[in-house]
Amino acid sequence: MRLATLRDGTPDGRLVVVSPDGASCAPAPVRTLQEAIERWGEVTPQLAAVAAFPDPIEPMQVLAPLPRAWQWLDGSAFQSHGDLMDAVLGITKPKTDLPLMYQGTSDRFYPPISEVKFPSEALGIDFEGEFGVIVDEVPMGTSADDALQHIKLIVQINDWSLRTLAGPEMKTGFGWVQAKPPCGMAPFAVSPDELGGAWRNGRVCLDLLVDWNGKRFGAANGEPMGFGFHELIAHAARTRDLVAGTIIGSGTVSNANFREIGSSCIAERRGIEVLDLGEAKTEFMRFGDTVRMEAVDAAGRAPFGVLHQTVVRG
Amino acid sequence: MRLATLRDGTPDGRLVVVSPDGASCAPAPVRTLQEAIERWGEVTPQLAAVAAFPDPIEPMQVLAPLPRAWQWLDGSAFQSHGDLMDAVLGITKPKTDLPLMYQGTSDRFYPPISEVKFPSEALGIDFEGEFGVIVDEVPMGTSADDALQHIKLIVQINDWSLRTLAGPEMKTGFGWVQAKPPCGMAPFAVSPDELGGAWRNGRVCLDLLVDWNGKRFGAANGEPMGFGFHELIAHAARTRDLVAGTIIGSGTVSNANFREIGSSCIAERRGIEVLDLGEAKTEFMRFGDTVRMEAVDAAGRAPFGVLHQTVVRG
């Protein structure tokens, strides 16, 4: 099952069920994705029963599947990325067996095809390609094993980051506020079964193709997460109930062979350059730049559709 | 004007206008505080026109004024507190002219009179008495001067903290997730004019009386904030639009003479003990413990009403 949210003038938009080819849709029996996730057990059979898709999808009418959420917690579960970022930011983290995670702004997720405004190019504008999951209500203390069943939908996210601000904010210990403005989201939220064998061990085992200004920049696979999404959920739920509709992110998709396959964010490439060349050569994004992100399966299909965002002056 | 939200079976509750003596109320012309803050200019005259308060307020029916918010950003604007916490946690922060701020969980704020569950006493359960403001929509790049006019309501908050987890999470640079479960909020959200002369320079110049298990623990005044709320808002809005209904917190209210007037959280008292006695003597909260918080003006009135929460096993 794939779901999308269409523009209708309200902040939460209008939920639709998407056809197998991703080109058309049908109105969902509930108005919003938030409402669906709150009543998932009751609503799923109705969503799954939709078999006719009379309405063509107009890409510019597509919002983020969840245009705003009550909670967004983003992990950093790819070790090859984490190690590089620490090197480039000059951070020395204590050794821990716990996942890394921060609380991000959730009041809006930008549409898949959109212009994203930033106040200045000097802030180090960067994309971060990642995967995320949307859970129903998760009680405090839920184990990783039990968390798996709370994963109702999977999404693909562009976590916009302002690198000039990121290091200084990390050094305060308070985490990121200015360095992490709202994210973008690819068009379709998909149920785990929709990914077939590519959903395993709580991981999205797909290549995430990232193009910057029309040129391939990265093609990392989601499988080598150091923690599965179920483990990230258990971490998040240790001291709180997670509200239905909470989104949990993987952090930047990254593979150890990043020198061959590329990266899902500019900062990682810059980190590689620092290691290999002694200094970062690649600059961050400029106004007018575009980033395109598409996860593809073995058959070349894109279950989440295509995210294509343009950086503009705010 | 003072507003409260009453339990009605929905997550957002039912907005009411509160009588001058805080004992009774009248239904508001809009259903929720979120809706009111989104249409503040239009709604304020209607709220202000309410002059009859036919319904007695039953304290157990009172929710947080904003029972859930799209965004909660908490500062740490009292220098006397910040310095102590750094000492006790072993954190060395870089020198900066910027306010400290973290993104907190906003999907729920506990009712003023409520039991708050935690998984273990070993996590270092602590209260933090603070003030907060609720803004209407604030465009990215808004200056501190302009931010003042976006402050529509003022609230009093208990920012629950788990100290055993706080230090290790700070050291990751990612900020707090497990160490900062949801906050509680005192009954009434008040308009700035309601505070009269106690609202000045973007600060709530009132004593915040904090009682732990019925014994006075602190009585710090909100005036010595190192940054006013307008400056905290400008900081938050530097790289993002703030959605209407965003709550910005002051951080633990603290005064430099804390040895005389006490503290608004246990961690601060422990910090003083470390400085003065070489080690912390005061333990954190136990299951069954209570905390009561009440800001009082010169006439002894409590504009935000009384918060009274009990710690229970989750």
Chain A hits for B240, Cβ within 8 Å:
105, 178, 181-182
CA distance A176 to B173: 8
Q: What is the mean pLDDT of each run of 10 residues along chain B (314 residues)?
A: 98 97 97 98 96 97 98 96 78 81 98 98 98 98 98 98 95 95 98 97 98 98 98 98 98 97 97 93 98 95 98 96
Residues in chain A within 8 Å Cβ distance of B89: 173
Confidence of residue A87 (pLDDT cuts 50, 70, 90): confident
Cβ separation of A246 and B107 shorter than 8 Å?
Answer: yes
Nearest-CA distance B2 → chain A (Å): 26
Give the integer Cα–Cα distance in Å for A154 and A145: 18
How far, CA to CA in Å, does B13 sit from each of B34, B68, B105, B154? 10, 10, 19, 19
Q: Which two tokens stand for residue A218?
A: 């990265």
Of A86-95, A237-246, B27-36, the least confident: A86-95
Helices B163-172 and B266-277, interaxial angle, to 10°? 80
Chain A CB contacts of B239 under 8 Å are: 118-119, 123, 162, 165, 178-179, 181
- B169-186: per-residue pLDDT in tens? 999 999 999 999 999 999
For residues B160 and B267, state if they share a domain.
yes
Boundary residue ending a domain (A35, A63, A91): A63
Q: Say yes or no for a CB contact (<8 Å) between A236 and B177.
A: yes
Cβ atoms within 10 A of the Cβ of B216, count?
A: 12
How many Å apart are CA A282 and CA A299, to the nearest integer?
33
B8 and B112 in a single domain? The answer is: no
- What is the pLDDT, as a whole number, of residue A231? 98
**Mean pLDDT for the stretch of residues A202-207:** 98
Domain of B52, in residue numbers: 1-63
pLDDT of residue B49: 96
Which backbone phi and psi does A265 adopt, to 5 degrees?
-155, 160
Nearest alpha carbon to residue A113 among A58, A163, A180: A58
CB pair distance less than 8 Å for A175 and B243: no
> What residues in A contact B164, CB-CB < 8 Å?
none
CA end-to-end span of chain B, whole Å?
Answer: 36
Number of Cβ pairs < 8 A linking chain A and chain B: 135
Nearest to B174 among A68, A175, A182 (CB): A175
Which of B89, B239, B243 should be substituted to probe chain A, the one whose Cβ sees the most A Cβ atoms within 10 Å?
B239
Q: Residue B108 and residue A246: Cβ atoms within 8 Å?
A: no
pTM above 0.95, yes or no: yes
- Cβ of A71 and B182 within 8 Å? no
B138-153: pLDDT as tens digits: 999 999 999 999 999 9
How far is CA A262 from its chain centroid? 18
Tokens, residue B12: 């957002």
CA distance A94 to A88: 16
Q: Which of B39, B93, B103 should be substituted to probe chain A, the one whose Cβ sees the most A Cβ atoms within 10 Å?
A: B103
Task: Output the DSSP codes for B285-297.
Answer: --TT-EEEEEEE-
Same domain, B153 and B54: no
Of the partner residues A119, A177, A179, the one whose CB lies closest to the CB of residue B236? A177
Cα separation of A225 and A206, whole Å?
A: 12
Q: Give me the pLDDT at residue B84, please.
A: 83
Best of B125, B172, B180, B242 to substitute, by most chain A Cβ atoms within 10 angstroms, is B172
Whether residue A113 is predicted with pLDDT greater than 80 in this model: the reply is: yes
User: Is B68 in the same domain as B182?
Assistant: yes
d(CA B266, CA B275): 14
- Give the model's pLDDT for residue B92: 74
Question: Can you tell me whether residue A209 is helix, strand or coil?
Answer: strand
pLDDT at A93 over 90: no
Does A78 share its domain with A58? no
* Helix, strand, coil content of chain A in percent (nearest 5): 25, 30, 45
Average pLDDT of the residues in A181-185 = 98
One domain, residues A43 and A118 = no
The confidence score (pLDDT) of residue A57 equals 98
Query: B172, A93: Cβ pair inside 8 Å?
Result: yes
What are the helix and strand counts (H, E) for chain B? 8, 21
Q: Do A174 and B175 touch (CB under 8 A)?
A: yes
Question: Coil, strand or helix: which one is B16?
Answer: strand
The domain boundary, picked from B63, B88, B111, lies at: B63
* pLDDT > 90? residue A31: yes
CB contact under 8 A, B102 and A238: no
Kindly state whether residues A41 and A76 are assigned to the same domain: no
What chain A residue is nearest to B239 in terms of C-alpha separation?
A178
Same domain, B186 and B217: yes
- Tokens for A314, please give them: 């705010």
Q: Which residues of chain B make contact with A236, given a CB cutoff of 8 A? A: 177
Helix-strand-coil split of chain B, %, nearest 5: 25, 30, 45
Our count of domains for chain A comes to: 2
Q: Is the dihedral of CA A61, A45, A138, A191 positive or negative?
A: negative
Q: Measure in Å the smallest separation between the Cα of A244 and chain B Cα atoms.
A: 10
> Considering only A21-35, A87-101, B152-166, B242-256, which range has the smallest mean pLDDT?
A87-101
Long-range contacts at B90-93 (CB < 8 A, ≥ 24 apart): B90/B167, B91/A173, B91/B167, B91/B170, B91/B171, B93/A171, B93/A172, B93/A173
Backbone angles phi, psi at B235, to 5 degrees: -60, -45
The CATH number of whichever domain residue B190 belongs to comes to 3.90.850.10
DSSP string for A86-145: HHHHT--PPP-SSPPEEEE--S--B-SEEEEEES-GGGTEE--EEEEEEES-B-TT--HH
Structure-token pair, residue A265 = 């964010």
Give B1 to chain A, closest Cα distance, Å. Answer: 27
**Residue of B107, B120, B183 to mutate, testing the A interface (most A Cβ within 10 Å of its Cβ):** B107
pLDDT band at A96 (very low <50, low <70, confident <90, very high): confident
Other C-beta atoms within 10 Å of A12: how many? 16
Residues in B touching A176 (Cβ below 8 Å): 103, 174-175
**How confident is the model over A22-46, as a mean pLDDT?**
97
Three-state secondary-structure class, residue A158: strand
Chain A residue whose CA is closest to B76: A174
Pair (B17, B140) in one structural domain: no
Q: How far apart are CA B212 and CA B230, in angstroms?
A: 31
Would strands B101-104 and B72-75 be described as parallel, antiparallel, or unpaired? antiparallel
Chain B residue with minimum CA distance to A239: B178
The structure tokens listed for A139 are 């009680």
∠ CA B239-A305-A8, nearest 5°, is 65
Task: Say what the pLDDT of residue A294 is.
Answer: 98
Could you tell me whether strands A161-162 and A125-126 are parallel, antiparallel, or unpaired per DSSP bridges? antiparallel
Q: Do A239 and B168 touch (CB under 8 A)?
A: no
Whether residues A28 and A150 share a domain: the answer is no
- Chain B residue with Cα closest to A38: B11
**What's the ipTM?**
0.96
Which residue bears the tokens 């997730």? Answer: B177
Quick one: A251 and A129 in the same domain?
Answer: yes
Closest-CA distance of chain A to residue B160, Å: 11
Residues of A in contact with B96 (CB under 8 A): 168, 172
Rounded CA separation A155/B155 (Å): 36
Whole-number pLDDT of residue B279? 93
Contact B173 A168 (CB under 8 A): no
C-beta atoms of A174 and B101 within 8 A: yes
B144 CA: distance to closest CA in chain A (Å): 15
**CB-CB under 8 Å, B107 with A243:** yes
Structure tokens at A14: 């209008």
**Distance (Å) from the C-alpha of residue B71 to the closest C-alpha of chain A?**
6
Tell me the backbone φ, ψ of residue B198, rounded to 5 degrees.
-80, -10
Query: How many helices (H) and strands (E) are present in chain A, helices listed first?
Result: 8, 21
Residue-wise pLDDT for B217-267, tens only, equals 999 999 999 999 999 999 999 999 999 999 999 999 999 999 999 999 999
Do B32 and B171 fall into the same domain?
no
Residue B3, C-beta contacts closer than 8 angstroms, at least 6 positions apart:
B15, B16, B17, B18, B28, B33, B36, B47, B65, B153, B188, B189, B190
Residue B105: closest CA among B162, B203, B180, B7: B180
8 Å CB contact of A176 and B175: yes
CA distance A154 to B88: 41
Distances (CA, A) of A92 to A84, A103, B90, B170, B286: 11, 20, 15, 12, 34
Domain boundary residue, one of A63, A78, A95? A63
